[in-house]
Chains A and B, each alone.
Chain A
């Protein structure tokens, strides 16, 4: 390659660090991104929490309205998503707290805890919905 030609272009084409577009997708980066994504999703989900508490305070009619929303297809889809987001963010958050005290930085351990978080988040989600739907939802 001619080193003297188009130095500016060469400079701008040099890969920069951390850059999502050039890295092979890995578990650790996926979980890191999902931690933020679920955090945002849960922040939006607080709207339902506020609605629920206000409906409880407001009366039976208001409570019926939010109940009908929750058992609608859209409501059930959102609740399922928020349940998984909550458990993922909880489990991965504990993983982050363990890193904060200096535990689990080794690559194999980071992957082991990562997969544990993935499996646990789904198991806890299924367990929650099993307990909620057991005997028919009121």
Chain B
């Protein structure tokens, strides 16, 4: 704020660093970005496995389908896939809502709804997988 020399107008004696600290994306702003990338990287092999699993399901009757998910590795991968997928979905939908929904109550409501639905979807899926896996 020293352009032109002399005392700047409206000076409150704060340094530029003091002014910016605690605002915007300082400290925690990259957390969303990083978790979105971590889940994205995890989902690359998981999605390939999931497609392979569903192709297998398309050739299976109910008993065989249950047996497929009963395998420990398959159950583990399905749980990890579901967790990563819902986490990634919540992060992505959050950004879309932030970008396009500008009515405050509607934005907060839809953000909460997305979080609640993702948590319920993930927990319900995991419970179902555990039930099959431990049967």
Residue positions of A touching B, CB distance < 8 A: 36, 39-40, 42-43, 46-47, 49-50, 52-54, 56-57, 60, 63-64, 83, 86, 90, 93-94, 96-97, 100, 128, 131-133, 135, 137-138
Contact = CB atoms under 8 A, between A and B. Distances in A.
A137 B65 CA distance: 13
Contacts of A43: 89, 92-93
Interface residues of B, number: 36
B115 interface: no
Interface stretch (B9-17, B20-28, B103-111, B126-134): B126-134
A57 B128 contact: yes
A39 B41 CA distance: 15
Given A60-B62, A86-B47, A93 B125 contact: no
Contacts of B131: 57
A128 B91 CA distance: 28
A86 B41 CA distance: 14
Given A86-B47, A94-B44, A138-B59, A53 B128 contact: yes
A40 B96 contact: yes
Given A39-B92, A63-B65, A54 B59 contact: no
8 contacts: A36-B96, A40-B96, A43-B89, A50-B128, A56-B62, A56-B65, A63-B65, A90-B47
